[in-house]
Amino acid sequence: MQRLERWVSPARLARALGLGESTLKRWIDQGRIPAAKTPGGHRRIRLAEVLHLLQGGGVPQAELAALGLTDRDEVSSRALAAVLGSESPERALTILEGLYAAGVRAAELADRWIAPAMQRVGRGWEAGRITITAEHRATGVMLRALYGLLRAQPVPSARAPDAVVAGLAGDPYLLAPLCVQLVLCESGLRATNFGPDTPATSLCDAITERRPAVVALSVSVPGTSGHDARVALAAACREAGSRLFVGGRGLVPDLLPDLAGAIGCRSLSEMERILRRPARVRTARSA
């Protein structure tokens, strides 16, 4: 798997951890935090080490407790949600990049951290603990994190199979299709994300034209696009020989009969496991 080989400056890490820069530099000089020096003599810390710090490897417990991160398991969706709802939600970028740099795959990152943390943010908004502006800011930080991880993916080979991702018209949710795209990229596919609010007819046209190996539909709002549109989408996938994966918060059982031949998944980890298995070649006749 491609890892993020990113280095951060003591200033950035200090900001992310909510510590003083001089404290962090002192710990580096005392050898408590492994760091390298640039040819110009500036200290740099590898992102993988950041995770180690978050796990309690080098930062005094009091500091970690203040962050709500006392040991590895405490790099939890709860801690992430707390950071997202705080005055400095950008610290979530360091946590997510740190987890990814430490080898957590995109599917697990999304299923175990991103979705549950956003769920907590949503509950906080519903209960009046978090303002709508804070919720929007949290979404923005998550978007930045996901675009960053997407940019770090290797360019797919010319022979990589195509995949397309979309949410249907009436569905405004951005994060879920992006998470799906990241998982497909990590699985070696050349994944194009049409994003949310895609008219079903345009998606069908694109499938007919591109004949992608995989089509992934993200459903956050169950009522989107209606029966006929879903039936047409499933037919376009069968005709093109595309494997159609469907998932998302809004994937209620009633939708699946319209999407004949689709593989309904409860999580991205499930989709990733299925993608690892060889595909049966499907045609309009065999479906």
Binding site for ligand B12 (CB under 6 A): 110-111, 114-115, 118-119, 121-123, 126, 135, 139, 172-176, 179-180, 216, 218, 220-221, 245-249, 265, 267-268, 271
Neighbours of 49 (CB within 10 A): 21
**Among 104, 44, 107, which Cα is nearest to 72's?**
104
**Among 172, 162, 260, which Cα is nearest to 207's?**
162
Q: How far is the CB of 220 from ligand B12 (least distance, A)?
A: 5
User: Is 213 or 271 the residue whose CB approaches ligand B12 more closely?
Assistant: 271
Q: How far is the CB of 108 from ligand B12 (least distance, A)?
A: 9
User: Is 49 or 135 the residue whose CB approaches ligand B12 more closely?
Assistant: 135
For ligand B12, the nearest residue by Cβ is: 247
CA 173: distance to chain centroid?
13
- Give the total residue count for the chain: 287
Tell me the C-alpha distance between 114 and 146, whole Å.
Answer: 10
Q: How far is the CB of 211 from ligand B12 (least distance, A)?
A: 19
User: Is 24 or 164 the residue whose CB approaches ligand B12 more closely?
Assistant: 164
User: Is 101 or 259 the residue whose CB approaches ligand B12 more closely?
Assistant: 259
User: Is 14 or 141 the residue whose CB approaches ligand B12 more closely?
Assistant: 141
CA 34: distance to chain centroid?
28
Neighbours of 106 (CB within 10 A): 26
Tell me the C-alpha distance between 78 and 84, whole Å.
Answer: 10
Q: How far is the CB of 264 from ligand B12 (least distance, A)?
A: 8
Q: How far is the CB of 117 from ligand B12 (least distance, A)?
A: 8
